Structure 1
Amino acid sequence: MHYCYFDSPLGKLLLNGNQLLEGLHFPTGKTRIEPEKEWVYNEDLFLEAIDQLGAYFNGELTTFDLKLNARGTHFQKKVWQQLLKIPFGETISYGELAKRIGNPKASRAVGMANGKNPISIIVPCHRVIGKDGSLTGFGGGIEVKKNLIEMEKRIIKNNKK
């Protein structure tokens, strides 16, 4: 496994993978991880992801174009594929996400799959909120989720000027 860090406005993000990007992890929150001893530091493998993350945080990129290798169950992958379809700066509820995968009664399971998303930001799990508009669970912490949503809305507003 290879890894590197990306200095973001949210802190140092950990990127990891072998041939493709398999993980993007926040420096805070319940899903925070550290590189394992046998992992090899290698920025070269992640240059395109680093460039695109830089453009995203600078407000120059609204859709990532990266080959990913998200590891998960069939159900999780189905949820993550739908996350990729949520437009930049928009949010949907867990219930709406469940409907979009064809299982409207699975909002709790969708929430669990959303929480297992290993490639945050690029697979935009932060764009899923509670049906009442509340910011619920997020691996990087609610404050990080709030900051990402607000940043995207601010970029859209500034681009309309």
Structure 2
Amino acid sequence: MKKKLILLLAVTMVAAFIFSGCNGAQEIKRPEPDGTTTEATGSCQAVLNGDTLTVSGETNLMDGTNGIISVLNANGITLEQQKITKNGDNLTWDFKVVDEWPEVVYGFITFDTQKADGQPDEVKKAYGNKFQNLTGKHTIWDQKGVIAVFQSEEVKVK
């Protein structure tokens, strides 16, 4: 009985290895638009003034769209972030530079359907439940949908 259990466990592990390791990375396909598309345009700047990093920008996305203004390091790790709701072209947030930050950081302004606490119905109606109706060079996507991303140039904070 013990030998059968060990053999069964070994066969199960080999099968799991074969079925999970042979296919390689799966391509994540961009969600297909299902309505009128909108090209996401905009910009992001990050400016250091003393020990304050101001991240600001603008976009053509509709007022009421939820987003995030953030500071990331070169490895893509979020150092600070602030949830915002677009209201006019005043997308700006001041972040206090702390000693733990690396020498170089980047400002980001992003709009998606997941991390920004979801979106109001009128925004989802215009851009789709997964933002699949957003297009342009400022869009990327993952398994959850399309993300409008605006990135600053690098900023040396130390």
Compute the TM-score of the two structures, normalised by the length of structure 1.
0.24
Higher strand proportion:
2
For the pair shown, which has the larger CA radius of gyration, 1 or 2?
Answer: 2
Compute the TM-score of the two structures, normalised by the length of structure 2.
0.24
Highest RCO, 1 vs 2 (Cα 8 Å, sep ≥ 6): 2
